[in-house]
Amino acid sequence: MDLDEFWDLIERSGRETGTRRKRLEWLEGELSRRPVEEIVDYEVWWKTTHDRGCTVDLYAAYWFVFGMGSLDGFEYFVSWLVSLGRATFESVVECPDRVIEVPQVLHLLELEKAYANRTRRPPKDPEQQREESEGFEVLAYVAMKAYERVTGQEPDALLEAAYARVESSGFPLVPELGSFPHGENWDFDDEEELARRLPRIAAHLDR
């Protein structure tokens, strides 16, 4: 499986299903019908892609747009960005400031405003709450479930196989794989630096 095939699966899972739960089932089922080697490839491409999004500047964008600084929450946010498809993900990774222009992000901010103004009540159903969330944690576990289903082995075996594949076949992993978040650190309280690095988000915050 190459990178194009990885993204094809991610995007088809969104087009061919209507909820996150169905999407996970679709991906797990699709991977389970493939050779084990392709499940391992998928996991490597997932880790490579996800890690590209785990930068300090995108963490800052997440921090300012959603008012949250949890590293776990940021990791789930990056998984959600992957779920939005290749074009959106690549655009935001290239320029984290563009996150404030992503339609799905703007929709979530409108929902938050409606909840705050009491013009709409937050959903009580947990599944609906997950649908209206900027995090998609469990998308990261799809390959593990498919691998366990096909091989009967524990998820740790997939991780070992993925790293072995990287070492043996030279997948183009980013150099910072494993650091989180990676990139140049900067003071989020520095308003001038915020305006320089994330001008769109700074303008949004000033409204």
Number of domains within the chain: 1
What is the pLDDT at residue 92? 98
What are 43's two structure tokens?
């996991």
Q: Which domain holds residue 156?
A: 3-205
CA dihedral 145, 147, 148, 150 (to 10 degrees): 120
User: What's the average pLDDT block by block, 10 residues per block, for the chain (207 residues)?
Assistant: 96 96 97 96 93 94 91 94 98 98 94 83 75 91 96 90 77 50 92 96 90
What is the pLDDT at residue 206? 85
What is the pLDDT at residue 177? 44
Q: What is the Cα 126 distance to its own chain's centre?
A: 20
What is the pLDDT at residue 117? 82
Q: What sign results for the dihedral spanned by CA atoms 76, 53, 183, 158?
A: positive
What is the pLDDT at residue 124? 67
What is the pLDDT at residue 68? 80
What is the pLDDT at residue 171? 56
Residue pair 182/176 in contact (Cβ under 8 Å)? The answer is yes
What is the pLDDT at residue 157? 92
What is the pLDDT at residue 167? 73
